[in-house]
Amino acid sequence: MAALAAVSLVSAATGCKDKAPEVAALKVEGTTLTAGGTPVSWHGVSFGWHNIWPRFYNAGALSTLRNDWGCSIFRASIGTDGHARIDNPDCHYGYIQEPGFALECLYALIDEAVRTGSYIIVDWHSHNLYTDEAVEFFTRVARRYKGVPNVIYELFNEPVCDSFEREASYADLGNEEAMKAYWKQLKDYAAKVIAAISAEDPSEPLILMGCPSWDQRIDLPAQDPIEGYANLMYTVHFYAATHGQWLRDRCDFALAKGLPLFISECAACEASGDGPMDDAEWQAWTSWADSRGVSLMAWSISDKAETCSMLFPTSTSEGPWDSLKPWGETVKAWIK
């Protein structure tokens, strides 16, 4: 029987305790996600990289999305390293270089999600494998939120391939044996991070794990799944103008193998995050996911000059947002 939990939040300003709304613990049953025994699938929103857009990592922004958009699940994308600085040289470093700042941003969103009875995904937003650093990060977060069913752990945003890890190249993307070997590395990584979370939180929180080639090689875990932890789902990412029926077919293959899927990042534009939106392909994806009970998290709450950023540079940090970019309008209507 799924447990319900209430969390007492202490206001730093007043010292008063408020009982947060109860949410049902999440449990994977076959390929279905359930909350308190009831199947659930969500239309949710992902915040952009915390180190590029920290101004949106606040209670007001989350509450605007909750109250105005009707969103009840969020994703906090905690950048891990300096990768984001390639295109954004003035932004913060990630958790590895600035852990205190990253946790400050993350905790602001988690605490507000708990206060409002929302679910939130803690996303280790990386393209590189950092085992020791991930273990440290998830240990700290799981210790703070032990037994809080609102919190979901996403262990690795978008693994790419082994050559990317070693040489920043994509030489082995087309090498099937190399990709299988890379997935085995990711399985070892996942086992260590899951063990760290479980050591702090024996309540078996929901855990999500990525797969190679930017979360598109879902066939690899379908044929060689992680063992030893039952409350686990696997992430797929799509950008509708780039990823079409071929990726939905791959997802159907994984589901047929009994692999539970969670789409933790998606948009209607190209995989670059820019370019035109493919509305027909977006509709094909959302219809596919809804028919199979697969959750979708739209990317992203950010203000970059690109298609998939939902807000303008002139948008307030906390909301409400009277004016949205076209993708933001699409997502707001889709959530409601």
Report the predicted TM-score, pTM, of the whole model to 2 decimal places.
Answer: 0.94
List alpha helices for 172-278, DSSP H: 176-200, 212-215, 219-223, 245-256
Q: Which of 158, 200, 270, 281 is catalytic?
A: 158
Say which residue the tokens 């040489």 belong to.
167
Q: Give mean pLDDT, residues 89-115.
A: 97
The contacts of residue 312 (CB under 8 Å, 6+ apart) are: 303, 323, 324, 325
294-309: pLDDT as tens digits: 999 999 999 999 999 9
Instruction: Kindly list the distances between the CA atom of residue 172 and the CA atoms of 163, 165, 166, 177, 184, in Å, as whole numbers in the listed order.
Output: 6, 11, 11, 9, 15
Please indicate whether residue 265 is annotated as part of the active site.
yes
pLDDT of residue 82: 86
3-state DSSP assignment of residue 145: coil
* Predicted confidence (pLDDT) at residue 9 exceeds the cutoff of 90: no
The whole-angstrom distance between residue 151's C-alpha and the CA centroid of its chain comes to: 11
Q: What is the pLDDT of residues 208-247, one digit of tens each?
A: 999 999 999 999 999 999 999 999 999 999 999 999 999 9
User: Per-residue pLDDT averaged across 137-164, rounded?
Assistant: 98
The one catalytic residue among 112, 265, 270, 281: 265
CATH code of the domain containing 286: 3.20.20.80
Tens-place pLDDT, residues 250-274: 999 999 999 999 999 999 999 999 9
Range of 321's domain? Answer: 4-335
Query: Do β-strands 4-5 and 207-209 pair in parallel, antiparallel, or remain unpaired?
Result: unpaired
- pLDDT at residue number 226: 98
Look at residue 14 and give its three-state secondary structure. coil
Total domain count, the chain: 1
Distance from C-alpha of 27 to C-alpha of 217, rounded to nearest angstrom: 24
The whole-angstrom separation of Cα 134 and Cα 142 is: 12
Where is pLDDT greater, at 16 or 255? 255
Question: CA 10, CA 144: separation in Å to the nearest integer?
Answer: 13
Q: Using omega within 30 degrees of 0 as the cis cutoff, is the peptide bond preceding 320 cis?
A: yes
What would the mean pLDDT of 101-125 be, rounded to a whole number?
Answer: 98
Residue 281 designated active-site: no
Residue 12 has pLDDT above 90, yes or no: no
Distance separating alpha carbons of residues 322 and 336, to the nearest angstrom:
16
Residue 3 pLDDT > 80, yes or no?
no
| Helix extents (H) in 73-175 | 99-115, 131-144, 162-167
Average pLDDT, the chain: 94
Residue 136's pLDDT is 98
| Confidence bin at 18 (pLDDT 50/70/90) | low
